[in-house]
Amino acid sequence: NHLPMAVQAKIEDHPCYSDEAHNYFARMHVPVASRCNIQCNYCNRKFDCANETRPGVVSKRLKPLEAVDKVLAVAKEIPELSVVGIAGPGDAFASAKQTMQTITELSRVAPNLKLCVSTNGLMLPEHVDELVAKGVEHVTVTINTLRPEVGAKIYAWIYYDGQRLSGEKAARILIGRQLEAVSMLTQLGVLVKVNTVYIPGVNDRCIVEVSREIQRRGAFIHNVMPLISKPEFGTAFSKAGQREPTAAELDAVREESSGSIQIMKHCRLCRADAIGRLGQDKRAMFESAGTPSVA
Residues near ligand SF4, by CB under 6 A: 16, 27, 36, 38-40, 43, 45, 49-52, 85, 87, 90-91, 120, 267-270, 278
Of 27 and 114, which has the nearer Cβ to ligand SF4? 27
Of 133 and 280, which has the nearer Cβ to ligand SF4? 280
Closest CA to 186 of 234, 140, 230: 140
Least distance in angstroms from the C-beta of 127 to ligand SF4: 16
Of 39 and 186, which has the nearer Cβ to ligand SF4? 39
Helix axes 206-216, 247-257, angle to 10 degrees: 30
The gap from C-alpha 211 to its chain's centroid, in whole angstroms, comes to: 16
Of 24 and 133, which has the nearer Cβ to ligand SF4? 24
Sign of CA dihedral 204, 260, 247, 52: negative
Least distance in angstroms from the C-beta of 140 to ligand SF4: 7
Least distance in angstroms from the C-beta of 18 to ligand SF4: 11
Inter-CA distances, 238 with 138, 234, 241, 249, Å: 32, 6, 5, 19
Inter-CA distances, 275 with 126, 213, 279, Å: 29, 33, 10
Least distance in angstroms from the C-beta of 278 to ligand SF4: 5
Least distance in angstroms from the C-beta of 96 to ligand SF4: 14
Of 19 and 133, which has the nearer Cβ to ligand SF4? 19
Residues 6 or more apart from 88 whose CB is under 8 A from it? 29, 31, 33, 48, 49, 51, 52, 53, 59, 118, 272
Q: Where does residue 106 fall: left (phi above 0), alpha (psi -120 to 50 degrees), or beta otherwise?
A: alpha
Least distance in angstroms from the C-beta of 9 to ligand SF4: 19
Of 126 and 133, which has the nearer Cβ to ligand SF4? 126
